[in-house]
Structure 1
Amino acid sequence: MVERFAVIPAAYVFLLRDGERGTEVLLQLRQNTGYMDQHWAAAAAGHVEQGETAFAAAQREATEELGITGIDLTFVTSMQRSQGGAPIEERIDFFFTARSWSGEPTVIEPEKCVEIAWFPLSALPEPVVPHEHQVLTGLREGQVPAYSTFGFTSS
């Protein structure tokens, strides 16, 4: 009998703005988190808490990690994610974008974030967390499916 696994939900927020070189995204450089440290990632992201919607989690994370409020979220995609058959829990990630908010994005958790910076979607820094890179590529190309997967091996 196969044991059921717990799917862990997370919400991601890509803040977007128009820049001189096209659409820009705000990314954070991760540190001291134990996962993908020294990689660029969504400026705000985190687990969805019990009894919380992904939408509410995205708003909460934007406030907790960037100090912004009144964020106008647009749902982009959901991603079912694994690590290629590795013995980890599987995840469901909900990605949102926002082009308007109140306040200036600021690093609120410096112990987890080295810096935040704006980058054109056409010139992302290296390295970017791989599954987030997949969504950013879709945003750049204007083709983000409503549902995607990452890390599964075909059998």
Structure 2
Amino acid sequence: MAATVRKDQLSSVHREEVNKDRFRVVPAAYLILRRDDHVLLQLRSNTGYRDGHWATGAAGHVEEGEPVHRAACREAFEELGIEVEESNLKGLTTLHRTNHGADRQADGLDERVDFFFTTTHWKGKPRIMEPEKASDLDWFPLDALPDPVVPHELQVLMALRAQLHGNGTVPPIMTHGW
């Protein structure tokens, strides 16, 4: 007769294997550079995802073992050539999103958690550091954003615009695509 094993009886190693295969979410850090009511955006190209769309100045996946604040600063250096201190990051919102199969990445992941930060303080002049991934970089007023902007990033930028105009606040947690 086969023995029944309760979840609380599983070894921690086995529990980790079960959970790893059951569900995986990719975290990403986004850094919105601001000058008054202007934000820095880059035009995506040759990435395979939303090419031809304007996107947050610096963004990318959080590396294994890397805190999200550090990831935002690292991405700013890698993509824009600027130095940002973690103490100058201001948490804006966390976005839990899905595409429900549309625009799925090659890795098949469909759920993401995006941490958005803003800053008005950095060292250096922002410039395109990865020309194979971005074809333009420019400052835009939140009232006159270019078209198109990556949809989930546009949602956050619109909430930021409303907050700056006194027409609301950016929620601490947002969802997209559900």
SS at match of 1:141: helix
Q: Distance in 2 between matches of 1:25 and 1:70?
A: 16
1:75 matched to 2:91? The reply is yes
Partner of 2:26: 8
More strand by proportion, 1 or 2? 1
Amino acid at match of 1:92: V
Q: Which residue of 2 aligns with 1:140?
A: 161
Which structure: larger Rg?
Answer: 2
- Cα displacement (A) at 1:85: 5.5
Deviation string for 1:66-120 (max 9, x for gaps)?
Answer: 0000342111000111013657431000000010100000100000000100000
Q: Return the letter of the residue paired with 1:90.
A: E
Residues of 2 paired with 1:9 and 1:101: CA distance? Answer: 23
Gaps of 5+ in 1: none
Letter in 2 for 1:25: V
TM-score (structure 2 length as normaliser) = 0.79
| 1:97 aligned to which of 118, 121, 138 | 118
Residue 72 of structure 2 is matched in structure 1 by 58
Runs (4+) of structure 1 exceeding 4 A deviation are: none
Question: Are the equivalent residues in 1 in contact too, given 2:25–2:109 (CA < 8 A)?
Answer: no
Cα offset, 1:4, TM superposition = 2.2
Aligned residues: 146
CA offset digits 1:124-150 (Å, max 9, x no partner): 000000000000000000021000100
Amino acid of the structure 2 residue aligned with 1:68: I
Return the alpha-carbon distance in structure 2 between the equivalents of residues 13 and 81 of structure 1.
17
Structure 2 gap ranges (5+): 1-20, 103-107, 164-168
Counterparts in 2 of 1:85 and 1:109: CA distance versus 1, 3 Å: closer
Structure-1-length-normalised TM-score = 0.90
Measure the CA separation in 2 of the matches of 1:70 and 1:85: 35
Please report the RMSD computed on the Cα atoms of aligned residues, expressed in angstroms: 1.3
SS at match of 1:104: coil
Q: Tell me if the contact between 2:82 and 2:123 (Cα under 8 Å) persists in the aligned partners.
A: yes
Q: Distance in 2 between matches of 1:89 and 1:54?
A: 20
